[in-house]
Amino acid sequence: MNLADVRPKRILLLNAAHIGDIVIATSLLPVLRSAYPDVEIGFAAASWSSAVLKKHPEIKWLHELDHWRLNRSRREWINKCKHYYQTRRATLKEIRQVKYDLSLSIYPCYPDFLDLAWQANIPIRIGFRQSIFASLATHLVDFPENPFIHQGVRQAEIFKPLGLNKMHLQKRKAFLPNMDAEAVHEVCALLNVKNLGGVRYRIIHPGSGAENRELPPEFWRDIAIKLSNSTIIFTGKGAREAKNISKIITGLGNCINACDRLTWNALIAAIRNAEIVYGVESMVGHVASAVGTKCIMFYSGAAGVARWRPEGDSVTVYTNHLPCAPCMLGCEAMLCKDNTKFQDIVKLD
């Protein structure tokens, strides 16, 4: 079948990964909208990243599915599996009811959810050849292995069987919903102001989904001291990050511990209005890039800077590159981040 002649009415994207990868995946939405102006788009994603998509103007249907392999919760493995199969049954039923014409499995390894698309009887199922359920796809494409190719470019390879015109592919850019009144109100309450007009502040996000990517609290305390003439909002999630932020800001003025105090849309609003965002390898850099806010990110070499850096001219990424990077695992020494000095951030600012 020549897919260049197909005009799908409903397209399903499938990606089981975490927030940063889903923010990157939003860069595919402008391509689909350009190529198929009338298409309706659904997205199957995990509950831990579904906030990215819940109020997204391009997403009509959101299907939540928490795969045990990517579940970072403290549940026992067996409970993660039980939860997965419970959510899977409900999600499969939802997907069948929508009657999608075409699915795009954009997570290149297990879980690729191609089995889900197959069971839902979606007639056109495009996936990556490296996927564990590749045999269930109707069309396959190679996932680029070159470590210097960005994740967004890799994801966009999924469009190859569709034969899209270059002008559509050039529209690839991550984007997030505009601020709504509720989100702005949350940020204003945090800053104790009536509106955000003329309010100046910076954001520091010291946490990451992987602890070995993080810098010590002392590093961020040095930064906070240096920047303490302006308001600093520290963002994060969970008890561990809240504790680290408290350690960083103890005794310092103009610092706000906003860990777990902002909803997802309020976090986007806060980042959109910030002068600059500082952080480590996490979803915050991708959010800042998507909304056009200047950001400086510190990356270890473990996962690969070229692949996972935020895209865009507003982003500066700092790393101590070593020949062993990317190792994909990290090590006890983590020398790829040891030479980071707070003076460097000031020079870049």
The dihedral sign for the CA sequence 222, 225, 229, 230 = positive
241: which residues sit within 8 A by CB, 6+ positions away?
206, 207, 259
Question: Once rounded to an integer, what is the mean pLDDT over residues 319-329?
Answer: 71
Q: Is residue 174 part of a domain?
A: no
CATH number of the domain where residue 207 is located = 3.40.50.2000
pLDDT surpasses 80 at 286: yes
**What are the pLDDT digits (tens) for 288-309?**
999 999 999 988 877 788 888 9
Backbone phi, psi, residue 154, to 5°:
-60, -45
- 3-state SS string over the chain? CCHHHCCCCEEEEECCCCHHHHHHHHHHHHHHHHHCCCCEEEEEECCCCCHHHHCCCCCCEEEECCCHHHCCCCCCHHHHHHHHHHHHHHHHHHHHHHCCCEEEECCCCCCCCHHHHHHCCCCEEEEECCCCCHHHCCEEECCCCCCCCCHHHHHHHHHHHHCCCHHHHCCCCCCCCCCCHHHHHHHHHHHCCCCCCCCCEEEEECCCCCHHHCCCHHHHHHHHHHCCCCEEEECCCCHHHHHHHHHHHCCCCCEEECCCCCCHHHHHHHHHHCCCEEEECCHHHHHHHHHCCCEEEECCCCCCHHHHCCCCCCEEEECCCCCCCCCCCCCCCCHHHCCCCHHHHHHHC
* Domains identified in the chain, total number: 2
What percent of the chain is modeled with pLDDT above 90? 69
Residues 156, 284, single domain; the answer is no
Q: Domain range for residue 72?
A: 3-169
Structure tokens belonging to residue 81: 């599996």
pLDDT surpasses 90 at 318: no
How many other CB atoms are found less than 10 A from the CB of residue 99?
12
Residues 247, 334, single domain; the answer is yes
Residues 127, 250, single domain; the answer is no
Q: Is residue 176 part of a domain?
A: no
pLDDT computed for residue 328 by the predictor: 65
**What are the pLDDT digits (tens) for 185-226?**
999 999 999 998 889 999 999 998 878 888 889 989 988 998
pLDDT computed for residue 335 by the predictor: 62
Q: Is residue 100 part of a domain?
A: yes
pLDDT computed for residue 153 by the predictor: 95
Check if the beta carbon of residue 191 is closer than 8 Å to that of residue 201. Answer: yes
Q: Is residue 82 part of a domain?
A: yes
**What are the pLDDT digits (tens) for 211-220?**
888 888 998 9
For residues 29 and 46, give the distance between their C-alpha atoms in angstroms, rounded to a whole number. Answer: 18
Residues 298, 226, single domain; the answer is yes
pLDDT computed for residue 346 by the predictor: 63
pLDDT surpasses 90 at 265: yes
Residues 88, 163, single domain; the answer is yes
pLDDT surpasses 80 at 339: no
pLDDT surpasses 60 at 178: yes
Residue 65: pLDDT band with limits 50, 70, 90: very high
Residues 258, 207, single domain; the answer is yes
pLDDT surpasses 60 at 313: yes
Check if the beta carbon of residue 11 is closer than 8 Å to that of residue 104. Answer: yes
Residues 84, 225, single domain; the answer is no
Question: Once rounded to an integer, what is the mean pLDDT over residues 22-26?
Answer: 96
pLDDT surpasses 80 at 316: yes
Residue 349: pLDDT band with limits 50, 70, 90: low
Residues 76, 197, single domain; the answer is no
Residues 138, 216, single domain; the answer is no
Residues 162, 75, single domain; the answer is yes
